[in-house]
Structure 1
């Protein structure tokens, strides 16, 4: 893959890049709009800001930064540009990874079950659930990705938006879906496996890595639990940049431009 080096920022990008306030920044744009490049150019200014902060406090530790992508498709471009920006002035300890690789590494490579769909559909048939396979699997993925196991019952009363009016998932159906999840989780526990959506829970249980800078690319593809697990590892004073596709929602809900 050919990597574009030192892209020239537009006036609109310069405004975002120059904003080095700590907290959460959300960059939204259509595919090909340069939103990822903007976030990585901002990485350089944030690195400079935190490096100066270290100097003022007498710290010799490098600035700790993390750039996450959802999958490996753009990782080559993201990693090359991120490292170019972070290394210009030195003093940055940068990790670039997919979420899955990062989480698996932090949690010491647990054994992850690879056939969730087959198992879920089997348990759903046993419980007489008549939903179409695609819809059923999507709803299960939503539950696993949004709620922690101890909070699954919150799903019984949560408002579901963006799903249309049919099929109707009433409380009785929701209870049976939760029973399917319990069946599934019990079955993989017996063989010493965990589900991919168990990873965020394990990541959140770990001591904080204290990243001063985190950039999450294609954040709309991350589950709520995955994003919560990332936030857990921010330093007390830190900057989180979420890069989002304007055509998609963040785990099914609208959100503010800056939170």
Structure 2
């Protein structure tokens, strides 16, 4: 599978990577602005600066470098690109990993990690709580993940009165409801975890935040908006006194129930240590407008950036939205690939919210089109296949020449009621992110009688309808 990114600086990036400073730097980048490329360029310039410093100081130990991404697929992709530029030598020790893999290896944990309350609290108790509070099970799971990732265990009571940054306006969590969640779900879950010596994914972050295992010179965290507060604390605890740590993020593209502020993490972000990338270099004007229409009305904080269309100069085909059965959507896509795409030099991705690809695989096989599934793959595929199948989540940070997102039905994109429902806001950001993976063409598809309501947020002036 071809890795598309050309690791060469844009004008915006050039001014950024030419400055290397000690301490924390925050880079906020809009969709398509080249955040992952920026991570690699920042890595290159930081290594050069630290190697020069090491030689001046006649230091004999290697420069220790960590590049963290938020999922396995992106980690494999970035690792492939990074190791094309750098190889570990006696002077350089470079590690590319996801947070979870890095933390498990650091802590020496080989056993199973539990996912959340339902692994220890009976399902009947959990569902009874949901029924009594009129909260969906998905919302409760995400709220627990949010608050346990945001606060250290000894500070978890802060949740009662703190702002719920990054969690939307509905369902509303008044203080009495928060107290009920803590007393009936969170505290019993924590007690059972400790009594049974179990670890969940947040415990990995807490352990790394409270114990020092490493001494990194350089750390770069890509897609930082999808890290929890405790994960950021863990990273900061593993640095040398003289260090360079770069957080690259865009909260407008946040797709997990997480949120933190730099102030609550004890990190000072000022004009001299922050930078914003606003130009969209990946997408055509047409694709950028199509994706951004999904984000209209969704507020952004200081760490979110909307693309600057005035700097998007590349023209292209208007996005296409197919209306019809899933089988007919796929047939259209296959005909499009065979008639308009050169698979020897161009890449294609089929993205799906849940990764339901069984029916698609049958039709691709019948059409004699080779493909590879990259969801959760820890290594970037090096075969000749240039068609990738991936969940939307696993495609984050990647890019392809052509993208198809078919089968956008209500069943695969469930959410609550109201425009401010957090799940709905997340799905809108998720689909916008998926559209933004495309460099040249984007084609969506749905069955009209089963359409996801997320489709209603697309601006009809930005795409062409085709019945299939």
Same fold (TM over 0.5): yes
Matches for 1:125-140 after TM superposition, within 5 Å: 125-127=127-129, 128-140=132-144
Is 1:69–1:218's contact at 8 Å kept on the other side of the alignment? yes
Question: Which stretch of structure 1 is more off in the superposition, 146-155 or 177-186?
Answer: 177-186
Map of 1:17 onto structure 2: 17
Question: Which stretch of structure 1 is more off in the superposition, 61-70 or 113-122?
Answer: 113-122
2:182 aligns with one of 174, 178, 202: 178
Map of 1:204 onto structure 2: 209
- Partner secondary structure for residue 73 of structure 1: helix
**Superposition RMSD on alpha carbons, in Å?**
2.6
Question: Which stretch of structure 1 is more off in the superposition, 169-178 or 57-66?
Answer: 169-178
Map of 2:30 onto structure 1: 30
Matches for 1:17-166 after TM superposition, within 5 Å: 17-87=17-87, 91-109=91-109, 111-114=112-115, 116-117=117-118, 122-127=124-129, 128-161=132-165, 163-166=167-170
Map of 1:189 onto structure 2: 194
Counterparts of 1:83 and 1:91, CA distance in 2: 15
Gaps of 5+ in 2: 263-268, 275-468
Instruction: Note closer, same or farther for the CA distance 1:82–1:202 as it changes in structure 2 (3 Å cut).
Output: same
Is 2:225–2:251's contact at 8 Å kept on the other side of the alignment? no
Instruction: Note closer, same or farther for the CA distance 1:252–1:93 as it changes in structure 2 (3 Å cut).
Output: same
Using structure 1 for the length normalisation, give the TM-score.
0.88
- Partner secondary structure for residue 133 of structure 2: coil
Instruction: Note closer, same or farther for the CA distance 1:33–1:192 as it changes in structure 2 (3 Å cut).
Output: same
Matches for 1:210-249 after TM superposition, within 5 Å: 210-245=215-250, 247-248=252-253
Question: Which stretch of structure 1 is more off in the superposition, 77-86 or 17-26?
Answer: 77-86
C-alpha displacement of 1:35:
1.3
Counterparts of 1:8 and 1:164, CA distance in 2: 37
Is 1:27–1:243's contact at 8 Å kept on the other side of the alignment? yes
Counterparts of 2:120 and 2:210, CA distance in 1: 27
C-alpha displacement of 1:248:
3.3
Is 1:147–1:225's contact at 8 Å kept on the other side of the alignment? yes
C-alpha displacement of 1:27:
2.2
Question: Which stretch of structure 1 is more off in the superposition, 131-140 or 45-54?
Answer: 131-140
C-alpha displacement of 1:210:
1.4
Instruction: Note closer, same or farther for the CA distance 1:164–1:75 as it changes in structure 2 (3 Å cut).
Output: closer
Query: Greater Rg, structure 1 or structure 2?
Result: 2
Q: Which has the higher contact order (CA 8 A, sep 6+)?
A: 1
Counterparts of 2:168 and 2:34, CA distance in 1: 32
Counterparts of 1:8 and 1:89, CA distance in 2: 23
Instruction: Note closer, same or farther for the CA distance 1:88–1:186 as it changes in structure 2 (3 Å cut).
Output: closer
Counterparts of 2:15 and 2:88, CA distance in 1: 20
C-alpha displacement of 1:14:
1.1
Map of 2:382 onto structure 1: none
Using structure 2 for the length normalisation, give the TM-score.
0.51
C-alpha displacement of 1:94:
0.6
**Could you report, residue by residue, the CA deviation over 1:228-255 in whole angstroms, capped at 9, with x for unpaired residues?**
1011111111111112135236943566
